Amino acid sequence: MAAVLASCFADQFTRLGGVNYVELGMYHDSTGPLLVTLQRQEGKTPGALVEELRAEVACLKERLQYQPA
């Protein structure tokens, strides 16, 4: 069963253009909406990517001497 799931998830990852991770939205009557995140094991989590981007934005704002309106 695990091999079948792995094959199905790998196909979805490729079809959706996954580079680091993809999210699959699903619905089941007994649980309601579900979100499955597929991530490459060596890749970064979505949260880690967001944190890196936030740090980069902060650095760029500082370099531009950003003044909020």
Structure confidence at residue 57 as a pLDDT band (50, 70, 90)? very high
Q: What is the mean pLDDT of residues 29-47?
A: 89
The pLDDT assigned to 40 comes to 86
Backbone φ and ψ for 32, nearest 5 degrees, come out as 85, -155
pLDDT, mean over the chain: 89
User: At residue 68, does pLDDT exceed 80?
Assistant: no
The pLDDT assigned to 66 comes to 61
